[in-house]
């Protein structure tokens, strides 16, 4: 039996996709507020980004390359220290795949996912490939 080149290519693609087990995810957190705050991202494997002070329109960018993904939650934390109180917000999502996820943070300091591409998401997630703007 002779297989056509299309069958060989199809088998090759299926075998490559079937053996791909890792992930490469870029998470971006952008400030929309005039109030400075700190942002930090923690990956499921314990890798932690810098704790970065963000002013309006500034970003924190974190990249996670791992052999296994989707085995735990990513945490996106924001911190604001005022003279009378400390405000902290945390969002947890499970991410898997190769792609990018964008978050925006407003005056409430709650990170909201507004865009994701190429990444499976479980939790509070934006639709795949759709840019969701804050109101």
Q: Note the pLDDT tens digit of each residue in 13-57.
A: 444 444 446 899 999 999 999 999 999 999 999 999 999 999 999
Does any domain span residue 26?
yes
Dist. CA 107–CA 89, nearest whole Å: 12
Q: According to the model, what pLDDT value does residue 53 have?
A: 96
SS3 content of the chain, % helix, strand, coil (to 5): 10, 50, 40
E strand or H helix that includes residue 128: none
Distances (CA, A) of 28 to 18, 85, 95: 28, 27, 14
Dist. CA 91–CA 42, nearest whole Å: 11
Number of domains in the chain: 1
- Strand 86-105, strand 111-122: pairing: antiparallel
Largest CA distance in the chain: 78
Q: What is the CATH number of the domain that holds 78?
A: 2.60.40
Does any domain span residue 3?
no
The domain of 54 spans 22-122
Q: Mind listing the pLDDT tens digit for each residue in 73-128?
A: 999 999 987 656 688 999 999 999 999 999 999 999 999 999 999 999 999 999 98
Dist. CA 61–CA 102, nearest whole Å: 9
């Amino acid at each position: 039996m002779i297989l056509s080149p299309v069958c060989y290519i199809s088998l090759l693609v299926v075998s490559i996709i079937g053996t791909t087990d890792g992930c490469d995810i870029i998470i971006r957190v952008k400030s929309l507020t005039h109030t400075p705050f700190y942002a930090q991202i923690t990956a499921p494997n314990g890798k932690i980004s810098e704790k970065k002070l963000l002013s309006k329109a500034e970003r924190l960018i974190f990249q996670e390359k791992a052999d296994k993904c989707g085995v735990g939650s990513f945490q996106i934390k924001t911190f604001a220290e005022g003279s009378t109180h400390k405000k902290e917000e945390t969002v947890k999502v499970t991410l898997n795949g190769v792609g990018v996820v964008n978050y925006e943070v407003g005056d409430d300091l709650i990170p909201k996912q507004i865009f994701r591409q190429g990444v499976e998401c479980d939790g509070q997630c934006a639709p795949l490939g759709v840019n969701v703007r804050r109101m």
